[in-house]
Chains A and B, each alone.
Chain A
Amino acid sequence: MTTLPVTTARLESATRAQVRAHKRRRARVFALLMALCAAAFLLSLTFGSVSIPVRDVLAALTGQATERASWTVIVVDYRLPKALTALLAGAALGVSGLMMQTLFRNPLADGYVMGVSSGASLGVALVVLGGGVGSTTLLSGLSLAGDVGVVTAAATGAALVMALIFVLSRRLRHVTALLIVGLMLGYAVSAIVSLLAHFTIPERLQAYTNWTFGSFGDTTNGQLVLFALVVAAGMGLALVSAKPLNGLLMGEDTARGLGIRVRRTRVLVMLGAALLAGAVTAFCGPVGFLGIAVPHICRTLLKTSDHLILFPASALLGGILAVSADIIAQAPGLDIVLPLNAVLALFGAPVVLWIVLRRGSLMRGSML
């Protein structure tokens, strides 16, 4: 090893002061994110078709008596699973989006780029538009997302596409080729869905369309446990690939030069992102926007590309935005429920635009 010459003490202390300033800023941002996350979570238990005072929400959560008995049922049986689902789904989408953006070195990538959501959509389209499962909920006019048949179809579709991508990834050297494969799969699937839609009855089409809106409110407690386990597995893969992903920011050859096993990292990252995005699609429908936007906002807020910082930040922010969007979608005080994806894009896109324009640094100097 080359021995280091003694650097001037002044220079080193100046750099260390900078490092400390960065760390303080990061600590502040994380504290803010955690506070917002807790606040959004609590608010989502409070608001809905009936507003329940925060005091009673807390009482219901801690098993104490609420002013009205029905409030306990609403909070514990309906709103809590929904809020947890939103939190998990938002975190999963933020993290999988970051994984894919770095792996493909493409700022427009998200957890769905490999066609996972296309596969899930195809599965759901086949059972819903083609007829078969889902007839009970079809008649009741409810959203389909919680239907066991629909969840199974979505998960199967997502898993099959994942398997296909893995087989192809062994043949393809470059990640860009993989990106194109994912996009083409998406086109092929939407073509099949259009065909199915053309020949189906309006009620089924309506049901399928409702599924594509996305929803956090249809997971049963049993499904929630399964969802949480899959998300945890995906997060674990994100964590172990965080450092290799830092190296991959400079391209695959440089990553190898930094001692990173590029192929292994690619497999871990793809598997993790596919699990996260696949689980969300299966249980909540194809929830858009978060996967692309959340990592960008986090990079800007934290002024870093370090995945060990961005992963927890993206999980937190994804959760915050998903829970907030769900609160808006429930339209407190009104007797309607707005489509989740519409809310996310309608309220989310201006926020991202505002950040880009105000800070002028979101995509600063990127190759776009």
Chain B
Amino acid sequence: MNRLDAVDLTIGHKAGRRLASALNLHVGEGELVCLLGPNGSGKSTLLRTLLGLVAPLSGHVLVGGEAASALDVRALAKRIAAVLTDREIPYAMTARELVALGRIPHTNWMNQFGDEDESAIAWAMQSAGVTAFSDRWVTDLSDGERQKVLLARALAQQPLLLILDEPTAYLDLPRRVEMMGLFARLAHEHGQSLVVSTHDLDLAMRHADRLWLMDGNGSFYQGTTDDLLEQGALRRAFGPAFDDYVRVPRLS
């Protein structure tokens, strides 16, 4: 069963233009999908629609085979976890405490942790490589470390699907490479399904199992890197100079 299906999905803002129409998308178990597209093409809106934060104009989203609209917020939170761009970093919070927030959908109203919760937190921190700074204030961490802590928080939610909106923004190149490698390991070694929006085309092409591409003019393309190159989709989204840019690293 797919972790995520979008059936005949049309997204956009109620009054404004449609950003993409009649999308049929799916994400399988252990699959890493990268969402590409220029600024303003609607990547964030698509992700927010998949998350249920924005209502689709038409069509529907299935999470683990069940209609997302039929699930209450808490049931949905056990299936999809997200790290969005408009997050806020609280102060007086240690890295471990932030990761532990991921258990909120699983615990009772007193937020009491059982063994399962503790193991999930420990596993999430280990997988994201943040165990070493579990006691540090999140505000004292570097951008790269903090991004990994936010990822660990989403992992601690133990979702069927992880949605990450531009997780590599603001990071330097080594950190970007490291993050994308981490996503690939989570997908391919731990069976975690991920949808990651990014501007790092080369890294996405290298690691993603499939790409989703929004060209900013209402067209949507999906497939492997080779599929998209054959369709000329990357050129249409990013301009004619793009093919040359892409081909150079691919030859090496």
Binding site for B on A (CB under 8 A): 1-2, 4-5, 7-8, 11-12, 14-16, 18-19, 105, 107, 240, 242-243, 246-247, 249-251, 253-254, 256-261, 299-300, 303-306, 308, 361, 363-367
Interface positions, chain B 25-61, Cβ under 8 Å from A, are 48, 51-53
**Which residues from A are CB-within-8-Å of B75?**
259
The chain A residue sitting closest to B106, CB to CB, is A259
Contact B53 A254 (CB under 8 A): no
Indicate if B241 sits at the interface (CB-CB under 8 A). no
Q: How far is the CA of A82 from the CA of B236 in the complex (A)?
A: 75
Contact A364 B192 (CB under 8 A): no
The chain A residue sitting closest to B85, CB to CB, is A253
**Which residues from B are CB-within-8-Å of A4?**
119-120, 123, 158
Task: Bin the interface of chain B by size.
Answer: 35 or more
Indicate if B126 sits at the interface (CB-CB under 8 A). yes
B73-88 CB contact bits vs A (8 Å, 1 = yes)? 1111110111010111
Q: Which of A246, A250, A256, A364 contacts B137 (CB 8 A)?
A: A364
The chain A residue sitting closest to B73, CB to CB, is A259
Contact B74 A259 (CB under 8 A): yes
Contact B80 A257 (CB under 8 A): yes
B128-141 CB contact bits vs A (8 Å, 1 = yes)? 00010011011110
Closest approach, in angstroms, between the C-beta of A311 and any C-beta of chain B?
A: 12
Q: How far is the CA of A258 from the CA of B87 in the complex (A)?
A: 13
Closest approach, in angstroms, between the C-beta of A244 and any C-beta of chain B?
A: 8
Indicate if B169 sits at the interface (CB-CB under 8 A). no
Interface positions, chain B 110-157, Cβ under 8 Å from A, are 110-111, 118-123, 125-126, 131, 134-135, 137-140, 157
Known: A253-B53, A304-B93. A364 touches B139 (CB 8 A): yes
Indicate if B92 sits at the interface (CB-CB under 8 A). yes
Contact A15 B121 (CB under 8 A): yes
Q: Which of A14, A258, A303 contacts B94 (CB 8 A)?
A: A303
Contact B131 A11 (CB under 8 A): yes
Indicate if B13 sits at the interface (CB-CB under 8 A). no
Q: State the majority secondary structure of interface residues on A.
A: loop
Indicate if B195 sits at the interface (CB-CB under 8 A). no
Contact A250 B88 (CB under 8 A): yes
Closest approach, in angstroms, between the C-beta of A178 and any C-beta of chain B?
A: 17
Q: How far is the CA of A150 from the CA of B162 in the complex (A)?
A: 56
Closest approach, in angstroms, between the C-beta of A202 and any C-beta of chain B?
A: 46
Known: A11-B126, A243-B109, A251-B86. A258 touches B92 (CB 8 A): no
Contact A257 B140 (CB under 8 A): no
Contact A300 B90 (CB under 8 A): no
Q: Which of B84, B110, B111 contacts A253 (CB 8 A)?
A: B84
Q: How far is the CA of A12 from the CA of B77 in the complex (A)?
A: 25
The chain B residue sitting closest to A305, CB to CB, is B93
Q: How far is the CA of A305 from the CA of B93 in the complex (A)?
A: 6
Contact A12 B122 (CB under 8 A): yes
Q: Which 4 A-B pairs have the closest CB atoms?
A: A365-B139, A259-B77, A259-B74, A299-B92
Known: A1-B158, A257-B80. A18 touches B92 (CB 8 A): no
**Which residues from B are CB-within-8-Å of A19?**
96, 118
Could you give 12 example pairs across A and B, Cβ below 8 Å? A2-B190, A2-B192, A11-B131, A240-B109, A243-B109, A247-B101, A253-B86, A256-B73, A257-B84, A258-B104, A259-B76, A299-B92
